[in-house]
Amino acid sequence: MATFLLLLFLLSGAASDLIVVTVDPGDDVILPCRAADSFIRAVEWTRPDLEPPEYVLLTIDGHLDPTHQHPSFKDRVELVDRDLKDGDVSLTLKNVSSIDNGTYECRVASAGSRRRRRSIRDSDPMRIIRLQVPEPAGE
């Protein structure tokens, strides 16, 4: 698992690059994202293909905001570094299954930013990750 995570970070080049991650059902996965600014006010992880368009994870001023979190991610996601040290805003997704297949986007608002939630979502993502969870063999 540690080798897999190291590979994920080595593959995470420029922010505009699409990263494709394949993980087995039942495993946990880290979706890497790093902000240039270490003073972070808000972190938003979304999946644009979800209906209704709710968050995978939204944290503001260090506090998780579950108000508009998509129910399929409740109690299954967390930031790797809750203290957001060194700009690490990577997401841990636990116990993945085929319903987690999709494109994930990471956005960040720095502490100096006065962006509201809507404007964070309207900004370009810092990282785009395509998660692939194949069906188990024999099903």
Q: For 46-82, what is each residue's pLDDT tens digit? A: 999 888 778 999 999 888 999 889 999 999 999 999 8
Is the pLDDT at 100 greater than 50, yes or no? Answer: yes
pTM over 0.85: no
Tokens found for residue 60:
């503001």
Domains of the chain and any CATH numbers: 2-132 (2.60.40.10)
**From 7-11, 42-46, 82-86, 128-132, the region with the lowest mean pLDDT:** 7-11
Q: Is the pLDDT of residue 134 over 80?
A: yes
Q: Are 62 and 40 in contact (CB under 8 A)?
A: no
Q: Of 54, 105, 97, 59, which is closest to residue 78 (Cα–Cα)? A: 59
Is residue 105 within 8 Å of 128, Cβ to Cβ? yes
pLDDT-derived band at 14 (thresholds 50, 70, 90) equals: very low
Token look-up 């006065």 returns 114
